[in-house]
Amino acid sequence: MDEQLDNLECETVQRPFAENGQGPNKALLIHYVICPDLIVESASDSHVTLCNRETASRFRLSQAAYHFLKRFHSPSEIDKIAPGASSQLANSIRYFIEKGLLVDANAPATVPMPKQRRTVAVKFCNAPALHSSLSPADFIILGIPYDCAGELECRTAPARIREKSLDYEYGADIESGRPRGWMDVNAGCRILEGATIHDAGDMHIDFGESAAKFFSRCSTTIKEATRLSSCPVILGGDQSISYPLIASLQQDMPLTVLRIAPDPHLSHNQGIAAPYQAETYRKIQSLMNVKDVVCFTGKGFLSLDPADQEMPQNKPPKPHSISRNIDDYAAILDQNYALYISIDMALFTSPYGLSALDSAIPGLSWLRPVQQMLKRIGGSHKIAGIDIVGLDSDAAAHPLFPVVACHLLLQTMHIAHMYKGARHA
Amino acid sequence: MHEVMQCDRLFSWPGREALDIPARSLCVLGAPTDKGNAISRGAALAPSAIRQASLNCEPPKLTCTDWGDVVDNAADLGTYLESLSDQVAHILERGLCPLILGGDHSITYAPVSKILERRDICLIWFDAHTDFSPWQGPDSHTHKQVLRRISKLQGVKNIVQIGHRGITIGDERDLGPKSQVITARAAETLSETTFVDLIPKKLACYISIDIDVIDPQWVPGTSAPVPDGLNPGAISQMLTWIIRNREVIALDVVEVNPRQDLGSSSSQVAANLLRNIAESWESQIAKQ
């Protein structure tokens, strides 16, 4: 036995090797090898940190334990490496096996389960990462950098929005310990005071995975998120990501979907499970508990006839009600139903605006009507979920549009928070 | 000091050699530096881009002068600001009114500190931000704290901040007893009388125009755009009101960032504002 093995230390408790019925004799027959997914992340004179690239798990070993582990660089039986292992050594080997640092060299390779989410380095407004130890939050942020349903590259948007959101740092009041919210200067009031936010990271995307499977995973993740918060806030992605979220949320409550976008974008259902972008809202409209889909185009509200989805293909959608007056929102958005708000950033990047013919970005002129509408809605509806989609990489690279996205998200989250306050009052 | 070519001078105005320029005329000085901008580079390109854009404007009736740029060849921003300050002193000695083309907003410290050696001022600060971040000490100049720093200078008797907006962590609408903050939304409703009454009549005005005071649908080319701002017409209007009703001792236009611009739209908006200023400047010369 090597002397340095007396100093084995690998963050494990001392337990008998055969405690759970896996006797040492059986384990001794297996050829073990170092897990091929391990890398050394950092090393000091006394310790080494290993990282499993597949699971992102990290292990801190003493130098002695690390040197002992390295003896399994080629498949070997335990008895060959450490004949007559001491109790401490046996515990270390057990730890290596349990934690997957040593694997059976002859076992068939397992296909790893796709991860649901991955952590992100930069959190939205620097809010805390979602963790099981935290109390449920008012809002959970989830990025879905998926853009395979359209032609625009929107996969960079969640990262860009989060990066810009660091200008609006989430923090707590020292006295009360409650989130302090932010000041909306033009509105002349504080917003989101006391609202708790956690960032759940991004949906893991396996490009090449079927869209139906991916959307199914999104629905599952959203279900999990709604258990942990009042309101999920999704950073897309293209507009197709709204579908699995709305599909999931409408199972628990009837919804009106309010879409803020340059056009209704409703084409006819081609009967596919995973809708292409143009089909998204046709599919959403057909969901059982979605009571209405209303599009706010900046020029007013456009609500489509639910029966229209049965119309033959190539026939344009028929509006059953339209209003150019923001004050008519109450008549159009039924207050008996919760509201899902989807904001398509294409409205603001579009070359069409109000009367701002001389402006460089005419689409930005829609911002004020949208803010006015959100203000009017504020407090009158339960907001079931929020998404922001359609921020393509060209726009996201400019400092302006991630700022617009952050402002709209915080202002929309505020109206969701206002409802909660009103209800509790 | 760097003399710009005649064809690149603002509105093709004559250079330093012109001696027949009336007292209190505008005297352009470029400050092509962006070392005080913590967000992005690019504002150093603005003096040249604004001058170029000014050639698309109809020349103003009043002929003023363009002395070129104070070249930024010092690694240290403080050293550069001293050079800029020296040139401002020369302009003041000639009885002219400095019109500085920044550059990022940190440059405003140089002309203001030089003017304060001569007289007290009211500072008119057009900006989406309050620029009141904590000051890191005497060796630090940044565009985020420049107003806080200037506000501490003796002789800055009054500050009128116009165009503040956006979502901020704290409430920045109160910058101290000598300051008034007029948010962008509030500024939209001001009449000439209400607006001018904010500015003490006895004080000379230094006007600092951070181009991000204008809504980014017209001015996307700036390093820290904030949506929901004022339109260029409203800013022009307010500038005209000040020039018509108060004494203006110097001006600057800062934070145009051609690297972030869509075409040259932001530089053009800046050039149009300057033309509007020049068109109404005769009333300032007459005040003498």
Q: Do domains A3-104 and A117-424 have the same CATH topology?
A: no
Q: What distance in Å separates residue A331's CA from the closest CA in chain B?
A: 28
- Give the model confidence (pLDDT) of A264-304 as tens digits: 655 444 444 344 555 787 788 889 999 888 888 766 666 65
Q: Say which CATH topology domain A3-104 has.
A: Outer Surface Protein A; domain 3 (3.90.930)
pLDDT band of A25, cuts 50, 70, 90: low
Q: Measured between CB atoms, does A397 come within 8 Å of chain B?
A: no
Whether residues A184 and B173 touch (CB distance < 8 A) is answered with no
Is B192 domain-assigned?
A: yes
Q: Taking CB atoms and an 8 Å cutoff, what residues of chain A touch B223? A: 399
Is B211 domain-assigned?
A: yes
Please return the burial class of A236, using the count of CB atoms within 10 Å of its CB with bins 0-12, 13-18 and 19+.
buried
At B128 the pLDDT is 98
Domain boundaries, chain A: 3-104, 117-424
Closest partner CB to A359 (pick from B171, B218, B227) = B218
At A208 the pLDDT is 85
Q: Residue A182's closest chain B neighbor by CA? A: B169
Residue B16: CATH number of its domain: 3.40.800.10
DSSP one-letter code for B104: S
Instruction: State the best of A400, A406, A411, A414 to mutate against chain B, taking most chain B CBs within 10 Å.
Output: A400
At A271 the pLDDT is 41
Whether residues A360 and B173 touch (CB distance < 8 A) is answered with no
Whether residues B263 and A360 touch (CB distance < 8 A) is answered with yes
| Core vs surface per residue B101-127: b (16+ CB within 10 A) or e | bbbbbbbbbbbbbbbbeeeebbbbbbb
Is B1 domain-assigned?
A: no
Closest partner CB to A183 (pick from B171, B225, B226) = B171
Say how many domains are in chain B. Answer: 1
Whether residues A400 and B171 touch (CB distance < 8 A) is answered with no
Closest partner CB to A185 (pick from B166, B219, B225) = B166
Is B50 domain-assigned?
A: yes
- Give the model confidence (pLDDT) of A363-419 as tens digits: 898 898 889 888 888 778 899 999 999 999 888 888 899 999 999 999 999 999 988
pLDDT band of A310, cuts 50, 70, 90: very low
- Give the model confidence (pLDDT) of A213-224 as tens digits: 999 999 988 888
Is B203 domain-assigned?
A: yes
- Of residues B286 and A327, more confidence is placed in B286
Q: Taking CB atoms and an 8 Å cutoff, what residues of chain B touch A400? A: 216, 220, 225, 227
pLDDT at residue B22 is higher than 50: yes
Long-range contacts of B12-20 (CB under 8 A, 24+ apart): B12/B55, B12/B59, B13/B63, B13/B64, B13/B65, B13/B66, B14/B63, B14/B65, B14/B66, B15/B65, B15/B66, B15/B67, B15/B68, B16/B65, B16/B67, B16/B68, B18/B65
Is residue A152 within 8 Å of A394, Cβ to Cβ? no
Q: How many CB pairs under 8 A join A and B?
A: 86
Residue range of the domain that includes B106? 6-287
At A313 the pLDDT is 44
Instruction: State the best of A165, A180, A185, A354 to mutate against chain B, taking most chain B CBs within 10 Å.
Output: A185
Bridge partners (DSSP) of residue A199 are A129, A141
Closest partner CB to A168 (pick from B167, B171, B218) = B167
Is B167 domain-assigned?
A: yes
Q: Residue B269's closest chain A neighbor by CA? A: A359
Is B272 domain-assigned?
A: yes
Give the separation between CA B241 and CA A279, rounded to whole angstroms.
54
- Give the model confidence (pLDDT) of A130-184 as tens digits: 877 778 899 999 999 999 888 889 999 999 999 999 999 999 888 888 999 999 9
Share of chain A above pLDDT 70, in %: 78
A117-424 belongs to CATH 3.40.800.10: yes
| Core vs surface per residue A56-89: b (16+ CB within 10 A) or e | eeebbbbbbbbebbeebeeebebeeebeebeeeb
Q: What is the mean pLDDT of residues A185-206?
A: 93
Whether residues A182 and B167 touch (CB distance < 8 A) is answered with yes
At A3 the pLDDT is 36
A residues 180..219 contacting B (CB < 8 A): 180, 182-186, 188, 190-191
Q: Measured between CB atoms, does B228 come within 8 Å of chain A?
A: yes
Is B117 domain-assigned?
A: yes
Q: What is the DSSP string of A7-41?
A: G---S-----TTTTS--HHHHHTSEEEE-TTEEEE
Is residue B18 within 8 Å of B65, Cβ to Cβ? yes
pLDDT at residue B5 is higher than 70: no
